[in-house]
Amino acid sequence: MGNATYGIWAGGATTTTAQSGAERYTFASNTIAATTALGTAKRSISGCGNTTEGYFAGGVIATNAYTNMIEIYTFSTGSRVSGTALGVSKASIQAAGNKTKGIFAGGHNGASIYFSEVYTYATNVRTAGSDLYSARYAGAATSSDPGGF
């Protein structure tokens, strides 16, 4: 995820081992530098954001358990804080957002998930969203106003 200046990659896996590392890409100079690591190593995480912050959600932690954690990155500084947790622990979520809200839809936690959750960036409040037409995970998502830039 990113804004007009930076993109951030975080988490992932080497084979089956969850990682906590994060990198910040600067578009203007085509350079990558290490940035603040995730608070917990995770794989199969999802992300969305606005022009100032990126939100990484869910995933599978090192013990192979699903998590509901959200971690918030500030693009300009690369700093990270914890956000309000998702309502359900899950991985492989499809995420999209605009200037004010992120939508975390579907996912997997032993079974495919059919519902979405709405995360309001300014207040760090999570609420139930609409149901998907069918349960699914590991898909992709986009929005017409990604990050609002």
Express each pLDDT in 51-98 by its tens digit: 999 999 999 998 999 999 999 999 999 999 999 999 999 999 999 999
Tell whether 41 is covered by a domain.
Answer: yes
Tell whether 93 is covered by a domain.
Answer: yes
Tell whether 146 is covered by a domain.
Answer: no
Domain count, the chain: 1
Tell whether 147 is covered by a domain.
Answer: no
**Which region among 18-22, 24-28, 59-63, 145-149 has the lowest average model confidence (pLDDT)?**
145-149
Q: Is a pLDDT exceeding 90 seen at residue 23? A: yes
Tell whether 85 is covered by a domain.
Answer: yes
Tell whether 104 is covered by a domain.
Answer: yes
At residue 95, φ and ψ (nearest 5 deg) are: -125, 140
Coil, strand or helix at 80: strand
CATH number at residue 133: 2.120.10.80
Cβ pair 41, 9 in contact under 8 A: no
Tell whether 107 is covered by a domain.
Answer: yes
Tell whether 1 is covered by a domain.
Answer: no
pLDDT digits (tens, 9 = 90+) for 90-130: 999 999 999 999 999 999 999 999 999 999 999 999 999 99
Domain around 88:
6-139
Cβ pair 27, 75 in contact under 8 A: no
Coil, strand or helix at 148: helix
CA 83, 88, 2, 131 torsion: positive or negative? negative
Cα–chain-centroid distance for residue 127? 16
Q: Is a pLDDT exceeding 60 seen at residue 148? A: no
What is the value of pTM for the model shown? 0.91
